[in-house]
Amino acid sequence: MAKKAKRLCKWKEDDIVKKFDKFASIVKNPAFACKKCGRVAVKKKWLHKPTELK
């Protein structure tokens, strides 16, 4: 069974540094923002409480 991807809301500074290329691809041209932490992502699957940016 595939491991579930960690949502951006849970990423720590160390996670961002270690996986910066992945992080950059997730936040480039965002379409959603998290109501919980304010992070943005291209797909809502990366956020806990996504809301569409208009």
1-54: pLDDT as tens digits:
666 778 988 999 999 999 999 999 999 999 999 999 999 999 999 999 999 998
Query: Which pLDDT belongs to residue 1?
Result: 61
Query: Which pLDDT belongs to residue 34?
Result: 95
Query: Which pLDDT belongs to residue 2?
Result: 63
Query: Which pLDDT belongs to residue 5?
Result: 77
E strands within the chain? 32-34, 40-41, 50-52
Q: How many CB atoms lie within 10 A of CB 9?
A: 16
Query: Which pLDDT belongs to residue 54?
Result: 87
